[in-house]
């Protein structure tokens, strides 16, 4: 895992929603359910800071959704091209 959206240390999900028109979603069951033109973002609460990771493929999705990870998470979808621009992902 290594492509993240920058923003404030806390309140990252509302920031991404307001700045980049992302929408909150429930955790998807399968990565294949994400439309090709959308990016799946997982905002993870790490205590002192939040990280907004770009789950750009099934492997990344499974890493962010690991069942043994107790950290609180918020799931979002946004425009994929914008997510790639913000994270520096070159897919």
Q: What is the pLDDT of residues 28-68, one digit of tens each?
A: 999 999 999 999 999 999 999 999 999 999 999 999 999 99
Residue 53 near residue 86 (C-beta atoms within 8 A): no
Domain that holds residue 29: 4-87
Q: Region 5-32: what's the mean pLDDT?
A: 97
The answer on pLDDT for 1 being more than 70 is no
The answer on pLDDT for 83 being more than 60 is yes
- Predicted confidence at residue 91, as pLDDT, reads 78
Q: Region 10-16: what's the mean pLDDT?
A: 98
Predicted TM-score (pTM) of the model is 0.95
Residue 43 near residue 13 (C-beta atoms within 8 A): yes
75's enclosing H/E stretch is: strand 73-79
The structural domain count of the chain equals 1
Strand order in the sheet with 50-55: 4-5, 50-55, 38-45, 73-79, 23-25
Report the distance separating Cα 22 and Cα 90, nearest Å: 20
């Amino acid at each position: 895992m290594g492509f993240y959206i920058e923003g404030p240390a806390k309140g990252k999900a509302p920031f991404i929603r307001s700045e980049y028109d992302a929408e909150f979603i429930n955790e998807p069951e399968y990565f294949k359910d994400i439309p090709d033109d959308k990016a799946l973002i997982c905002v993870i609460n790490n205590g002192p800071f939040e990280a907004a990771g770009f789950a750009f493929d099934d492997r990344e999705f499974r890493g962010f959704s690991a069942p043994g990870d107790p950290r609180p998470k918020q799931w979002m979808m946004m425009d994929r091209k914008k997510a790639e621009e913000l994270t520096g992902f070159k897919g």
